[in-house]
Structure formats: C-alpha cells, structure tokens
Amino acid sequence: MSLVGKKILVLGGNGYVGNYFASRLVQQKATVMAMSRKGLKHSYPENAEIDWLVGDILAPQKFIEQINSADIVVHTIGTLFDTSITKGTAPGGPGTYEQVNRDTMTSLLATLQSPKRIIYLSSASSPPFIPRYLTTKHEAEEMLLASQHDGYSMRPGFIYDAKQRWWSVPVKFSISFWSKLYPYAHRIVKVL
C-alpha cells in the first residue's frame, strides 16, 4: 500500500516508538500529524515535516477536526511502568495501565466520526510479574477489533535500542532472563 499523500495521525508521537513511526511515515511521503501531551521532543530531521499537536487523546475536544481528518491513525501510546508501580496509585487512576494502555483507545474510538484504518501497537508479552500490562493492551485490541473501524494490532516483543534508549538493553536481557525463570519460580521458592 502506497502511503504517498495519505494523512496519518500518530498518537504518542513524542514517545520512542511513536516518533520512530512518524519519522518513517514521512520518509514514505505520507502527510504526518503527531499528537502527544508534550509536543516535539526529539530533533530528528524528519520532525520538521511533521505537524505536531500538543494534546491528550483523553481530552480530545479541541482536536476533533484534526483527528477525524486522518486517513489512518497509528496508536503508539503506552507505558512500561505505570503509576501504580512508580507512585503506588490505585489501578485505573491517572498514569496507570488501565488509563494509558486501554482508556486512550476508548477515547479514540469515541472521537472518530467515521470508519478509519487504525493500527494499534500492542505487545506480545508483559514484563515479568506485571500481568495488567498485557491485560490492558489486549482489552484495547478487543475494543478496536469489535468496532466499526478497519483495525490492526501489532504485537512486538520488548523494544530496545542501544543508541537512543541505552537503559533498554539491560532491561531486555533482564526480561528475557525472568521470562525463562518465571515458570519455575514457584518451584524455586518451595525449595528455599
């Protein structure tokens, strides 16, 4: 499918994966809008050709026209460690997996006024001992696939990069280690 001239909205465009998507879409000659709560953060050359929207899909009122003008929406919003882990907030509150991974999809679907192609960045697995991460990603997928939209879900493994996210490399290998150990953890605890 040629993306030349297609208007594509990348939600979470300021994030690591979202900015990568937006930059690659520009290279494919698409007209790209990127929405994030903070606006432009990275200084990639392609970013000059992106129409940056500073906003929150959970409060989309002032962006309804721009959101609905897109031919394709790429949803890359997500968080690896939510506020229930980092700040001890209750699940479902601001910054939690429920809000970031799932409720942003609910808001997007409610905002769209006509059927769109939507590509959702989900996940193939959750970090060890954090099943809510994957549960909320899959809930968002289910909503998308049950909607009137032409929905697609991508399920990559943990995404890491030694250049831009140096810290992600040890995390990747820690996750790999724990994912191998986790099925046997209950046996190890019984032995100890």
Secondary structure in 3-state letters for 109-123: HHHCCCCCEEEEECC
Residues 6+ apart with CB under 8 A from 154: 119, 120, 121, 122
The dihedral built from the CA positions of residue 157, 82, 50 and 167, taken in this order, carries a sign that is: negative
Whether residue 181 is predicted with pLDDT greater than 80 in this model: the reply is no
Task: Kindly report the number of other CB atoms within 10 A of residue 165's CB atom.
Answer: 13
Query: Regarding predicted confidence, which is higher, 44 or 105?
Result: 105
* Rounded Cα distance, 81 and 101, in Å: 11
Q: In this structure, what token pair is assigned to residue 169?
A: 């490399």
Whether residue 186 is predicted with pLDDT greater than 50 in this model: the reply is no
User: What pairs with residue 153 in β-bridges?
Assistant: 120
Whether residue 153 is predicted with pLDDT greater than 50 in this model: the reply is yes
Q: Tell me what pLDDT residue 138 has.
A: 95
CA dihedral 166→169→172→176, nearest 10 degrees, is -160
Angle at 155 between CA 179 and CA 97, to 5 degrees: 75
* Rounded Cα distance, 16 and 161, in Å: 10
Give the closest residue to 26 by CA, choosing from 5, 46, 48. 46
Whether residue 191 is predicted with pLDDT greater than 50 in this model: the reply is no
* Average pLDDT score over the chain: 84
| Cβ proximity of 30 and 9 under 8 Å | no
Q: Tell me what pLDDT residue 74 has.
A: 97
Whether residue 165 is predicted with pLDDT greater than 80 in this model: the reply is no
Specify whether the backbone of 160 is left (phi greater than 0), alpha (psi in -120 to 50) or beta.
Answer: beta
Whether residue 155 is predicted with pLDDT greater than 80 in this model: the reply is yes
pLDDT digits (tens, 9 = 90+) for 44-103: 666 788 999 998 999 999 899 999 999 999 999 988 788 888 898 898 899 999 999 999
- Which is the CATH superfamily of the domain at 7-159? NAD(P)-binding Rossmann-like Domain (3.40.50.720)
What residue ranges do the domains of the chain occupy?
7-159
| Cβ proximity of 175 and 141 under 8 Å | no
pLDDT digits (tens, 9 = 90+) for 11-37: 999 888 898 899 899 999 999 999 998
Radius of gyration in angstroms for the set of CA atoms belonging to the chain, rounded to a whole number: 18
